A and B are shown apart, each in its own frame.
Chain A
Amino acid sequence: MARRKATARMSKKKEVEVEEASTSSASVAESEAEEESDTNDHSEEEEASDVQSEEEEEGSDEEVNSSDEESSGEEESDDESPENSDDVNTDSVGQNEQCTFDLGNLLSFNTHQVNAAELYRGGSMKNNLNKEWYELRPPTIEASKASALPNPVNESMLLAKAAEGTTQLLRELWKLPTEKTDLGLLAKLPTAETRLPRMLPPPPPKQLTKWEQFALQRGIAPKGKQSRKVFDEATGEWKHLTGSLDNKANAGPESWPILEVKKNDDPMQDPWEKLREEKKSRVGKNTESRMRNAERAGNLEKGTANRMMKNVKKQEKQKVLMRQKEREMGLVAPVGVPVDMRSGGEKAQRGKPSTQLALKATQTSTASLGRFDKQIEGEPERQLNKNTKKRKLDPSVTGNTNKKYLQTEAQKSQDILSKVMNGSKQKDKDVKKGKYAKGETAYDYDFDDGLGSGSFKKKKGRAGAGKMKKLTKKRIM
């Protein structure tokens, strides 16, 4: 405040100069700063001049204003001042109130207390007598509605306060350091001080997974980002860490033609089979733990993981049982190690049955499952699979003449009729969707509403859509 007063004294002198001669904008700023002191006499004049000069300043690109504009502005305000200073109650208007600023957000805060009596003074005739016509009209559309309220607010006072705040803000902006760019003169805004509130509620905190909880507990640091490719010493290539198995680089030991038998391994076990099974179990475990984590976080319904596991186990059991059954029934050739070399346990099936089964297996082990292969001389006939399920034909396709069917049919038609007569919900939905023609009258159903064909298709698939006909003159009807 002390600084301000000093400048005020200085600027009083300077203000005289301003009115007569040209000045730089800095001095103009100082003269305007005088407004912040408690001189009320010239306050209206100053505000007017301030507003005018502000407008002029905004128009120009340079900091230094041209002398002509300013002096003209000052002269104009000179004329107005004798009239205005007596009439308007300038105490109520917030010239004295210095605002605080947050230039980063282009905000100016006027935190001074509002005089309640002033605020609700509203439209008393005394005040309105000497006011200009533009002061009497409410400044905003909402204000005109607000004046109809029981406690009308002094809108003009609020507007004056707002104008004051804006001018002060603009003044501050002009004080900022500037840079010249191809767009013009730009002011460098400081970093924003006020934190604006969130528009939407914050997202709920993420649930930690089981591993993350454990790591937190034990103080294990997270792994950190891995590069996508890794240099493989053996092949001298850069291989992806993750990716499809089609890529030879990612295939792993399953693709190796030879696998060594280690000490603890069973020599009779298929190592590739073993690898496949291990991978399956790993994948299953992974999906299960992911599901459980999701359940804990609330993203998945509780109990789905258990259900899935049960299902998977059931299916696997069924598969195993089926295979066993087939083997027992003699429908499938024994796989894996040849019969001779098997070490007890299973019944050794030597002789005709096993040979027949083996032949059957080889006959169907082609891409087309043996359908188009040529038979060699003496090869027994290919036996088609007897296990194909017989399809149950729809009674609507076969002759449906038995009484029971007719009864049910009558019942069904009754139900449909009741739906039609009583206006089913589905129909209302369809009308809304636009499936029915525009209008609800009978005649409209034959009307071509231009919406195209309905859902009835005589044939399935593309054939049902109908032939696409070339649009000729004749067809444009």
Chain B
Amino acid sequence: MRPLNEDETKTLFQKLAEYMGRSVERLINRSDERHCFRLIKDRVYYISESVMKSSTSINKDNLLHCGTCLGKFTKSGKFRLHITALDYLSQYSKYKVWLKPSAEMSFLYGNNVLKSGLARITESTPQYAGVVIYNLADIPLGFGVAAQTTDACKELDPTANVVLHQADVGEFLRGLEDDMF
């Protein structure tokens, strides 16, 4: 377990900033307890100070996870967010998308969101911005990337992609990525 070095922190913040914008600061400076980022074998964990202190007393080989796993660094140095980060992303997300009930199941199976399934979308979403997807009951379902800007979405066919899927809550059951948990 080690803290992130500068380049890694930069990559992480860039990725997070796509979803949260300036609110990444709130992750660093929290009102209740200070949290920090730690790396265990290429995975980035977001843990509180007290948890971190106690986790140092566990043997390195036996320590699997601690805190919240935000994602992992790939072999080529890129950072990939996991579904386990949804909690924090949904709290601070800038751009949101709400799905119709008909499209919910499709998205939870890992498909992209079509225009026919789109209920609502925040205004002035730039193209390829990080987007968090909600139920009409405001339950976060996952996150993805906006395929078009909000204005362009209005002029699309019903079968065109609006949001490109990146992670959804259904992955917990599907266990798609073997090395995620």
B-binding residues in A (CB < 8 A) = 396-397, 399-401, 406, 409-410, 412-414, 416-417, 419-421, 441-446, 452-458, 466
Asked if A456 contacts B77 (CB within 8 A), the reply is yes
Asked if A420 contacts B75 (CB within 8 A), the reply is no
* In the complex, per-residue mask of B71-98: 1 if CB is within 8 Å of any chain A CB, else 0: 0010111101000000000000000000
Asked if A454 contacts B36 (CB within 8 A), the reply is no
Asked if A456 contacts B128 (CB within 8 A), the reply is no
B6 contacts the other chain (Cβ, under 8 Å)?
yes
Residues of chain A within 8 A (CB-CB) of B145 are: 442-443
A246 to B25, CA, bound (A): 64
Asked if A397 contacts B77 (CB within 8 A), the reply is no
B18 contacts the other chain (Cβ, under 8 Å)?
yes
Partner among A414, A417, A420, A454 whose Cβ is within 8 Å of the Cβ of B76: A454
Q: List 20 A-B contacts (CB under 8 A).
A: A396-B2, A396-B5, A401-B56, A406-B36, A410-B36, A413-B9, A413-B28, A414-B25, A416-B6, A416-B9, A416-B10, A416-B13, A420-B17, A442-B18, A443-B164, A446-B78, A446-B80, A454-B78, A456-B7, A456-B73
Residues of chain B from 1 to 41 with CB closer than 8 A to chain A in the complex: 2-3, 5-10, 13-15, 17-18, 21-22, 24-25, 28-29, 34, 36-37
Residues of chain B within 8 A (CB-CB) of A445 are: 14-15, 78
Residues of chain B within 8 A (CB-CB) of A453 are: 75-77
Asked if A410 contacts B42 (CB within 8 A), the reply is no
A228 to B106, CA, bound (A): 86
CB of A57, distance to nearest CB on chain B (Å): 72
Residues of chain B within 8 A (CB-CB) of A421 are: 17, 21-22, 24
Partner among B8, B13, B128 whose Cβ is within 8 Å of the Cβ of A441: B128
Asked if A420 contacts B128 (CB within 8 A), the reply is no
Asked if A396 contacts B3 (CB within 8 A), the reply is yes
Residues of chain B within 8 A (CB-CB) of A454 are: 76-78
A446 to B130, CA, bound (A): 12
Partner among B2, B34, B53 whose Cβ is within 8 Å of the Cβ of A397: B2
Chain B residue, CB-CB nearest to A445: B78
Partner among A406, A441, A442 whose Cβ is within 8 Å of the Cβ of B34: A406
Residues of chain B within 8 A (CB-CB) of A457 are: 77
With A409-B3, A421-B22 known to touch, is A414 a contact of B28 (CB < 8 Å)?
yes
A252 to B80, CA, bound (A): 67
Residues of chain B within 8 A (CB-CB) of A419 are: 10
A417 to B13, CA, bound (A): 6
Chain B residue, CB-CB nearest to A466: B75
With A413-B37, A466-B75 known to touch, is A400 a contact of B3 (CB < 8 Å)?
yes
B66 contacts the other chain (Cβ, under 8 Å)?
no
Chain A residue, CB-CB nearest to B38: A400
With A420-B14, A421-B22 known to touch, is A443 a contact of B128 (CB < 8 Å)?
yes
A456 to B52, CA, bound (A): 25
B153 contacts the other chain (Cβ, under 8 Å)?
no
CB of B174, distance to nearest CB on chain A (Å): 20
Residues of chain A within 8 A (CB-CB) of B56 are: 399, 401
Asked if B24 contacts A417 (CB within 8 A), the reply is yes
Residues of chain A within 8 A (CB-CB) of B127 are: 441
A396 to B24, CA, bound (A): 23
Residues of chain B within 8 A (CB-CB) of A458 are: 42, 75
Asked if B2 contacts A420 (CB within 8 A), the reply is no
B49 contacts the other chain (Cβ, under 8 Å)?
yes
Chain A residue, CB-CB nearest to B4: A413
CB of A227, distance to nearest CB on chain B (Å): 59
B129 contacts the other chain (Cβ, under 8 Å)?
yes
Asked if B25 contacts A455 (CB within 8 A), the reply is no
A420 to B17, CA, bound (A): 8
Asked if A442 contacts B25 (CB within 8 A), the reply is no
Asked if B53 contacts A401 (CB within 8 A), the reply is yes
Which 7 residue pairs are nearest across A and B when measured between Cβ atoms? A456-B77, A441-B128, A454-B77, A443-B128, A453-B76, A442-B18, A399-B56
Asked if B76 contacts A410 (CB within 8 A), the reply is no
Residues of chain A within 8 A (CB-CB) of B25 are: 414, 417
Asked if B10 contacts A420 (CB within 8 A), the reply is yes
Residues of chain B within 8 A (CB-CB) of A443 are: 128, 145, 164
Partner among B29, B53, B126, B130 whose Cβ is within 8 Å of the Cβ of A410: B29
Asked if B34 contacts A410 (CB within 8 A), the reply is yes
A417 to B3, CA, bound (A): 16
Asked if B8 contacts A442 (CB within 8 A), the reply is no
Asked if A420 contacts B34 (CB within 8 A), the reply is no
* In the complex, per-residue mask of B149-166: 1 if CB is within 8 Å of any chain A CB, else 0: 000000000000000100
CB of A174, distance to nearest CB on chain B (Å): 72
Knowing that A420-B10, A454-B77 are A-B contacts, what are 13 other residue pairs whose CB atoms are under 8 Å apart, sorted by A's residue number?
A: A410-B28, A410-B29, A413-B9, A416-B6, A417-B25, A420-B13, A421-B24, A441-B127, A441-B128, A446-B78, A446-B80, A452-B76, A453-B75
Residues of chain A within 8 A (CB-CB) of B14 are: 420, 445
